[in-house]
Structure 1
Amino acid sequence: MSFTKILHLLFEVLSHAKLDLIKALSLAKINTNSMTLTKKITLICKDNKIIKVFYPQKNIENVIYWIKNN
């Protein structure tokens, strides 16, 4: 069973054992229970490029507003 299903998440979770995405984007790491995680982050992608980043302090209304207007 996938991590997303176990936690009943409504969004996809990216995972890579070598932490390539965390390293490439210089994301803040959280180490807990022998796992390395990041804080929640929303990435808007288009044509295989990240075009907008919303950090955890931003709420979903900001994300929805941005998507509707861009």
Structure 2
Amino acid sequence: MLLRERASRALHDFANTIVSMNVATLYFSVWFIKDLTAMAYRAAVLTGVAMFAASLLLLRRVPDPARARR
């Protein structure tokens, strides 16, 4: 009887380990990659908007030749 209880407990622990590792490796990695992708996308958009705003400020200083002739 003792051998059966130990085997049952070992099988139960093994199954719990497999389930927890599947959750950790399958779902956590997908969530982590999606989160990093979203963060990289936000950083790229923010950089683009900042560069556009900076170019507007710099190009505003360049005189317009057509307007200067009027």
Q: Which TM class, normalised by the smaller chain length?
A: under 0.3
Higher relative contact order (CA 8 A, sep 6+): 1
Normalised by the length of structure 1, the TM-score is: 0.19
Normalised by the length of structure 2, the TM-score is: 0.19
**If each structure's helix is expressed as a fraction of its own residues, which one has the higher value?**
2
**If each structure's strand is expressed as a fraction of its own residues, which one has the higher value?**
1
Instruction: Indicate the structure (1 or 2) with the bigger Cα radius of gyration.
Output: 2
